Structure 1
Amino acid sequence: MGQVSLNPRKRPSDASPSAPGPTSTGEALGRMQSGTKKRRTQRPEERPNWVIDKEDSWVLDLHKLYGSVCGISRGHGEVANGQLGDLAGKELNGGLVVLCILGSTTVHLRALSSLSPSLSASYPTIGILGVSLHASVLHDYQFPIVHDSPPNITPALGLLHPLGGGREALDAIVVLDTCGRRRMVLPVGWGQSRHCTVSDELLRNTMAKLMANLMDGVRWLDKEWQEQREEELEEMEVDTEG
């Protein structure tokens, strides 16, 4: 009788079936790109809770908004009138836009003016503007102030004071992304910051937190924009190669 092997070699029928491989290099590339896009878009835990998700944000008509007639003051008595897009072309150059909405206080305007050099240095395409329903006065802030009369910008942002008869704004800092979506609304003197004028110390702490939230939010939105551009470029390259 022949000797029986204790470790017989598996016949092909005993082997477990393996997953079929990609049929072409193009299919493999497609799978890799699909996985890359999935990883890039799954970042909800990283988004600060004061940054509004793009799917839930208001979308402003930038063409209409920038075509609105207004006055603009760049300080030291320099005032001009015309369409916003023409007057603020230097500030509105395709990047994120930070709007300081002025109602009954200027504390956030002063804080933002101090922060604006750092913002502009870190994000060269960012635009920063003050927005007021009242005529601009002499100022030495780091960015121009728009005289929003008749009101176009303020109501489009949903920041007319409900008790102001259409003549008063809610103080806030707003950030629009590159598609005109309202991604941040940081209230001043109402909402979570309604006690910001109780004391000087509390005011300083509130403004410091507000500016920190603004910086963190802008950093996150800029990263989102950069990743979106990279994905669009990759898709263009694949389409070209295909």
Structure 2
Amino acid sequence: MKTKQHKIFWVSALVASILMYIVQYAVFNDYLGIINSFLGKIAFVPIQVFLITVVISGILSDMEKSARLEKLNILIGTFFSETGTKSLKYFSKIDPNIEEIGNKLKVTDSWVDEDFKNALNYAKDRDYTLNASKEDIIKIYEFLSKNKEFLMRLLENPNLMEHEHFTELLRAVFHLLEELESRENLHESSDNDIMHLNGDMVRSYRLITIEWVNYMKYLKNNYPYLFSLAMRRNPFDKSAKTSLK
């Protein structure tokens, strides 16, 4: 049906165009002028095609991409507000090298792009270690369980297709939660169990830390007031306080 309508439209447009040229010839009796005008319009067609398909389409595509990225950053911000920052606090408390990472990731107002680049490289390359006890594992399990529905809604969001790393992060967190849920009694976890769960927590810890550095840079460059709060909630800085002096 639509194909037939399209054919009717184009045939009608062609007929209307021919009629307009006939009227123009009847009024002005200048076929050379009509031919000259017709050829001039044909010559301009490639330029029109270029402007529409390349320039304008490119601008619209960039605008759509920017809008999608903005929505994605809102999702990432929601993740850190609800789950991410608190998860990092749990992990950092059982990180035997918290002093080192605390010094490296102590973000301040004076940080520039180079500082964030160095911090990101550190977050990617450092050797993560966690010394979680049974009690620590239970606390993390209880926290993640409370946020399971929220995390599921995030993972179902189509905007995540734009961000592979964040999707990988959520999968790592879900895998950790799945491992924790599969244990009948975490209080009776064996040493091998604890070692295995530590490995799953390290994976989540690393991915969340990397994303946290990226997110802090985004906030500093785009939303200084949100950056101020995030800086005062720094999960790696033991001296960080949300209240201002």
Which category of TM-score, normalised to the shorter sequence, fits these structures? 0.3 to 0.5
Q: TM-score, normalised by structure 2?
A: 0.32
Does 1 or 2 have the higher relative contact order (CA < 8 Å, sep 6+)? 2
Larger CA Rg, structure 1 vs 2: 2
Greater strand content: 1
Greater helix content: 2
